[in-house]
Amino acid sequence: MTITAAPCVNDGCLMVRGKVVLTHVPTNIILSPGISGAAFLGSTSPIPTSRHVFTLGILEGYKHQCLYSFKIWWMIPGYGKSGSEIPLETQLLLLEIKEESVVEDDDSSGPPTPTTFYVLFLPVLDGDFRTSLQGTPANELQFCAESGDANVQNSQILEPVFINSGDNPFELIKNSIKSTRALSDIENKKIPAHLDWFGWCTWDAFYTEVNSQGIKEGLQSFSDGGCSPRYLIIDDGWQDTVNEFQKEGEPLIEGTQFATRLVDIKENSKFKSSESDAWCNNLHEFINMIKGKYGLKYVYVWHALTGYWGGVLPSSETMKKYNPKIVYPIQSPGNIGNLRDIIPDSLEKYGVGIIDPQKIFDFYNDLHSYLSSNGVDGVKVDAQNFIETLGSGFGGRVLLTRRYQQALEQSTSRNFKDNNLICCMSHNSDSIYSWKTSAVARASEDFMPREPTFQTLHIASVAFNSLLLGEIVVPDWDMFHSKHDTAEFHGIARAIGGCAVYVSDKPGNHDFEILRKLVLPDGSVLRAKHAGRPTRDCLFRDPVMDGKSTPLVISGNVSPCDVEFIEDVAGENWNGDFAVYAFNSGSLSRLLMNGNIKVTLATLKCETFTISPIRVSGEGVHFAPIGLLDMYNSGGAVESIDENMKNSSEFIIKIKVRGCGRFGVYTSLKPSSCIVDMEEEEFIYNSENGLLTLDLTGDCNFRDIEFIY
């Protein structure tokens, strides 16, 4: 029998690599070939409608991991072994399939070796329809295709679900995203420069009570501690808004706060002053002042995709030019079938002031050009998924999202440098597949400092969501608090997350010891090059809810083989071994590829390991750079490594590094000297474990270190 990787349907079974993935596949399911052995699954219906639910078949009992929208704004991971455990609104489904390897020849002895491959189902956009997956109690796998507008109907949808397989789950997802034709991957996008600097967001510090004086006090408190942010996000609370449903002097009616609408594109009175002794009179003066006094490189401000939570005020003289009108959201059955959210539930009653899609670019352009003229460098755009509920009468949710997202990207590109846009509350596939130039997006629900049970879920959600999001954008792990019971837990996660590092501390409420492990003296951070993701051995395990991963103390092993693609970066002179440095314990070990270190941790405790391939020089020196030993992401300081013969009697290993502080390398032999930027420096060498350390003083610029043997 010839086994092909390409999916096929035989005798009512969906087959991949000769394994049955689905049984009882209905006759109306259509399999269309994709590229490189992938395919699309679609279906036909005798009746045109705006919302289809088609059964693909009964899912075999393989382990699966999925990403699904548990509420309208956000995805979280899900796990299971049957179709009944696949939630509504699933936007990625990954199966782990075990198979026996084929015996190569008749002389082979012993049982076949079990191997593993992976099957990916990726629901995408097909025309004006958006797709998601879901399971049933009968273990059926279904896909739901919906337009979000009763007048946008069809009777066939041919390419709604992309299916592919591969031996490496990370490569499978990466290659599939490139193959779907619907997505723009991160490799082709301009990355905003703020990601490489320490930031401060005003949200938890002030919530909507943010004002210019509070921001000034916060920046001063960071400066007093010697760790100043280089970018600032002025979150919700700076805009000119009105709540028509709130009468002065009366208690707030719960839900009406989300119906608050935007009145003007300019800042509110908290950022203006007519007092003669005021230190700033408007947003322009304020931003110029804080940039000059506190060394800020970038100032972002917040706004919702519709302007504000309740949209814009149609009766506002400023807003009339955009032809706004009040519309009432219609939530999809998928959203309300998982976890309902107070914001769309409230706005079903109070409505949203939505701007005419033909005028939405004009609105964004007017808003962003005003902000840019006042010194603002970029925007964080929130509540993006809400557009999916407003598609009725506008051609549907997909078309409306595309129009808004395209206008947003065009305006930010026109008015701000460096693609300075952060997308937020935007995890539905309508938004994700409309990110053509957007390069940064929040990767999970908010960090919630007052919810102790949410801390592990937050980190797990970001890591698993990054399996998808990390191939399309730089995942934003959200702010955290430097002075908090879980500060180190969150700080280390962001150090290895490949993301922005920013906090939302209240003025004067900081832990500078933790911040200095994340932030260099010049305000830059050692950002990892790729998004942080789960290791392969825990892809199909629930690290939060399985009852095994979160007792008071857990133990496990860390191994170089946990690092995907490490062989690709090891270099030509790699000998197969690794130097492994543990940050908190300060220990240095030498391991084989399959060697491991046992780790025991209490709940919410963590350890960071820098795993560096050991290279063997022509002179027999075994060498591996570690990096800045007092930074969570130690290895982020290492830019390059090279070696050469200085003369017949001296051999040089040269590395380029960034930052300052205690720098370490593993070396099997003690060098005769160390040269930093042409000047000899003292060093300490531990012959027992091979750790060499030296102090890098001065600024945080790039510098060359030479180890002479």
Summarised one tens digit per residue, pLDDT across range 216-254 is: 999 999 999 999 999 999 999 999 999 999 988 899 999
Res. 109: pLDDT tops 90:
no
Q: How many CB atoms lie within 10 A of CB 4?
A: 11
**By C-alpha distance, which of 262, 257, 259 is closest to 239?**
262
Given CA atoms 517, 518, 524, 525 in this order, what sign does their dihedral have? Answer: positive
Contact call for residues 144 and 87 (beta carbons, < 8 A) = no
Q: What is the mean pLDDT of residues 625-631?
A: 98
Res. 404: pLDDT tops 60:
yes
**pLDDT confidence of residue 111:** 55
How far CA 270 is from CA of 249, 273, 427, 659, in Å, comes to 20, 8, 32, 39
Q: Give this prediction's pTM.
A: 0.95
**pLDDT confidence of residue 186:** 78
Burial class (CB in 10 A: 0-12, 13-18, 19+), 265: buried
Q: What is the mean pLDDT of residues 361-377?
A: 98
Q: What angle do CA 327, 332, 338 make, to 5 degrees?
A: 130
Give pLDDT tens digits for 558-582.
Answer: 999 999 999 988 988 899 999 999 9
Res. 618: pLDDT tops 50:
yes
3-state class (DSSP) for residue 54:
strand
**pLDDT confidence of residue 572:** 84
Q: What is the mean pLDDT of residues 58-79?
A: 96
The bridge status of strand 597-602 relative to strand 553-558 is antiparallel
Q: What angle do CA 527, 503, 464 make, to 5 degrees?
A: 60
Res. 203: pLDDT tops 60:
yes
Instruction: Read off the pLDDT band of 330 (50, 70, 90).
Output: very high
Distance, in Å, from the CA atom of 65 to the CA atom of 317, rounded to the nearest integer, reads: 51
- More confidently predicted of 650 and 296: 296
Q: Quick one: three-class SS letters along 189-233?
A: CCCCHHHHEEEEECHHHHHHHCCHHHHHHHHHHHHHCCCCCCEEE
**By C-alpha distance, which of 616, 618, 625, 632 is closest to 694?**
625
Residue 30's contacts (CB-CB under 8 Å, 6 or more residues apart) are 41, 42, 43, 44, 158
Distance, in Å, from the CA atom of 46 to the CA atom of 68, rounded to the nearest integer, reads: 29
The residues with which 693 forms a beta bridge, in sequence order, are 664, 684
**pLDDT confidence of residue 180:** 81
Burial class (CB in 10 A: 0-12, 13-18, 19+), 536: middle
How far CA 397 is from CA of 92, 125, 324, 537, 577, in Å, comes to 20, 11, 18, 38, 53
Which of 346-350, 432-436, 541-545, 553-557 has the lowest average pLDDT?
541-545
**pLDDT confidence of residue 105:** 47
Give pLDDT tens digits for 464-491.
Answer: 999 999 999 999 999 999 999 999 999 9
Res. 274: pLDDT tops 80:
no
What's the residue count for the chain?
Answer: 709
**pLDDT confidence of residue 104:** 47
Distance, in Å, from the CA atom of 164 to the CA atom of 92, rounded to the nearest integer, reads: 12
Residue 292's contacts (CB-CB under 8 Å, 6 or more residues apart) are none
User: Average pLDDT of the chain?
Assistant: 94
Burial class (CB in 10 A: 0-12, 13-18, 19+), 538: middle
Instruction: Read off the pLDDT band of 594 (50, 70, 90).
Output: very high
3-state class (DSSP) for residue 256:
helix
Q: Backbone phi, then psi, for 173, in 5-degree steps? A: -65, -45
Give pLDDT tens digits for 301-326.
Answer: 999 999 999 999 999 999 999 999 99
Give pLDDT tens digits for 30-57.
Answer: 999 998 899 999 999 999 999 999 999 9
Instruction: Read off the pLDDT band of 275 (50, 70, 90).
Output: low
Distance, in Å, from the CA atom of 132 to the CA atom of 428, rounded to the nearest integer, reads: 9
Distance, in Å, from the CA atom of 77 to the CA atom of 118, rounded to the nearest integer, reads: 17
Distance, in Å, from the CA atom of 476 to the CA atom of 527, rounded to the nearest integer, reads: 12
Going along the chain from its start, the domains and CATH numbers come out as 8-101+112-182 (no CATH), 244-276+304-372+382-437 (no CATH), 557-708 (2.60.40)
Q: How many CB atoms lie within 10 A of CB 105?
A: 5
**pLDDT confidence of residue 635:** 97
Q: What is the mean pLDDT of residues 656-683?
A: 97
Provide the percentage of residues in the chain whose pLDDT is more than 90.
Answer: 87
Distance, in Å, from the CA atom of 240 to the CA atom of 443, rounded to the nearest integer, reads: 28
DSSP assignment letter at 547: S
Distance, in Å, from the CA atom of 412 to the CA atom of 108, rounded to the nearest integer, reads: 62
- More confidently predicted of 297 and 699: 297
How far CA 374 is from CA of 111, 297, 299, 370, 473, in Å, comes to 72, 14, 10, 6, 28
How far CA 530 is from CA of 55, 186, 276, 291, in Å, comes to 37, 10, 50, 30
Q: What is the mean pLDDT of residues 524-536?
A: 96
